[in-house]
C-alpha cells in the first residue's frame, strides 16, 4: 500500500498559501452554485447531479491513482465512507433544489450555518461540553437565518426551508468527517465521496436522462463538474498548508463571492434585511472560529502559567 505524503511543515508562508487556496475554493463553489441555478430550470435535477459527481469522481481518480496507486482505496471504515458519501449526496440534492427557488447569496448565507449546527450536534448528540458563548453564537446564527427567511413575510415560500435541511445533512457530514479524519487518508475520503455520489445518482439516471440540444447547457454541466472538483481539491490542499482554526473564518468569504456572482449573472441584489441576516451569520461563524483558536491555545499555555 502506498503511504500518504507526510504532513507539510506549517510556516507563515504555507499558512498564507492555505488562506489563498481556501479563498479560491470558496470562489469555485460560488461559481458552481451560480451555474447550478442557471442550468437547473432546463436540466433534470438528478441528471445534473449525476454529471457533477461523475465529473468529480473520474477527474479525481485520474489524478490520484497514478500518484498514489490502488492502495489509496483501502479504508478501515467502508460503511462510514458510504454513509458520508450518502450525506453529501443528500446535501447536494437539497442544494440543487434550493437554488431553483432562491438567490445564490441568500442560499449561501444559510448554508454557512452548518459549522454552528455542528456545535448543536456536538452538545446534543455527542454530549460534548459547549460554552455559553458558543450557545449564544448558535442563537445569533439562527436569528440571522430567520432574518433572511422571514417566515410569514411576503417573500417567504416553502422552498426557503430547503437550505435548513441542507444545513442538517451537512452538519452530520462534517461530524462524520471529523471522526473519520482521525484515522483515514483525506484523499481516500474524497475518492469515496465522489464515487458514492456517482453510483447513487446513476441508479436514477436511466429514468431522467434527457437529450440536450443546447451547447451552453453542456458547457454549464461541465463547468459545474470542474468547479466542484477544483474547489474540493483546493480545500484539501488548503488544510494541508494551514490548520482549520486559521482557515475557517475565510470560508465565510463564500457569502461575498455568491453575492457578487448573483449580481453579475442574475442581476440580484439582496435587500437590507437579507444583508443584515448574512452579516449576522458570517459574524457568528467567524467568532466561533476565533473561539476555537483561543480554546486550542489555552491547554498549551496552562503549563507555562503553572511554572510562573
Task: Convert the pLDDT of each residue in 259-282 to its tens digit.
Answer: 888 888 888 888 888 888 888 888
Mean pLDDT of the chain: 81
At residue 13 the predicted structure's pLDDT band, cuts being 50, 70 and 90, is confident
Quick one: which of 103, 90, 137, 132 has its CA closest to 248?
137
CA-CA distance, 52 to 240, in Å (whole number)? 25
138-147, 204-213, 240-249: the lowest-pLDDT one: 240-249
Contact 231, 29 (CB under 8 A): yes
Asked whether residue 302 carries a pLDDT value surpassing 60, the answer given is no
Extents of the domains making up the chain? 12-205+216-296
Burial 74-95 (b: 16+ CB within 10 A, else e): ebebeebbbbbbbbbbbbbbbb
141-159 confidence digits (pLDDT tens)? 888 888 887 765 555 667 7
223-232 confidence digits (pLDDT tens)? 998 998 888 8
93-132 confidence digits (pLDDT tens)? 998 888 888 888 888 888 877 777 777 777 776 666 777 8
Amino acid at each position: 500500500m502506498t503511504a500518504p505524503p507526510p504532513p507539510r511543515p506549517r510556516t507563515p508562508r504555507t499558512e498564507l498559501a492555505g488562506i489563498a487556496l481556501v479563498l479560491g475554493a470558496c470562489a469555485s463553489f460560488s461559481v458552481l452554485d451560480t451555474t447550478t441555478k442557471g442550468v437547473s430550470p432546463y436540466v433534470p435535477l438528478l441528471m445534473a447531479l449525476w454529471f457533477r459527481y461523475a465529473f468529480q469522481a473520474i477527474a479525481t481518480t485520474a489524478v490520484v491513482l497514478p500518484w498514489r496507486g490502488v492502495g489509496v482505496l483501502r479504508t478501515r471504515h467502508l460503511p462510514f465512507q458510504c454513509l458520508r458519501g450518502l450525506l453529501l449526496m443528500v446535501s447536494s440534492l437539497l442544494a440543487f433544489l434550493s437554488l431553483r427557488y432562491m438567490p445564490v447569496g441568500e442560499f449561501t448565507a444559510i448554508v454557512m450555518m452548518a459549522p454552528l449546527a455542528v456545535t448543536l450536534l456536538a452538545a446534543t448528540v455527542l454530549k460534548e461540553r459547549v460554552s455559553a458563548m458558543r450557545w449564544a453564537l448558535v442563537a445569533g446564527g439562527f436569528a440571522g437565518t430567520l432574518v433572511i427567511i422571514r417566515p410569514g413575510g411576503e417573500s417567504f415560500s416553502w422552498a426557503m426551508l430547503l437550505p435548513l435541511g441542507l444545513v442538517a445533512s451537512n452538519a452530520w457530514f462534517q461530524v462524520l468527517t471529523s471522526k473519520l479524519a482521525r484515522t483515514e487518508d483525506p484523499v481516500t475520503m474524497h475518492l469515496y465521496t465522489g464515487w458514492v455520489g456517482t453510483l447513487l445518482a446513476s441508479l436514477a439516471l436511466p429514468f431522467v436522462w434527457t437529450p440536450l440540444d443546447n451547447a451552453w447547457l453542456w458547457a454549464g454541466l461541465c463547468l459545474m463538474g470542474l468547479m466542484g472538483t477544483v474547489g474540493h481539491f483546493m480545500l484539501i490542499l488548503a488544510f494541508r498548508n494551514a490548520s482549520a482554526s486559521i482557515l475557517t473564518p475565510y470560508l465565510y468569504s463564500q457569502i461575498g463571492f455568491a453575492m457578487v456572482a448573483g449580481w453579475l449573472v442574475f442581476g440580484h441584489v439582496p435587500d437590507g434585511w437579507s444583508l443584515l441576516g448574512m452579516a449576522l451569520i458570517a459574524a457568528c461563524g467567524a467568532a466561533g472560529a476565533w473561539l476555537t483558536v483561543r480554546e486550542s491555545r489555552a491547554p498549551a499555555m496552562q503549563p507555562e502559567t503553572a511554572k510562573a
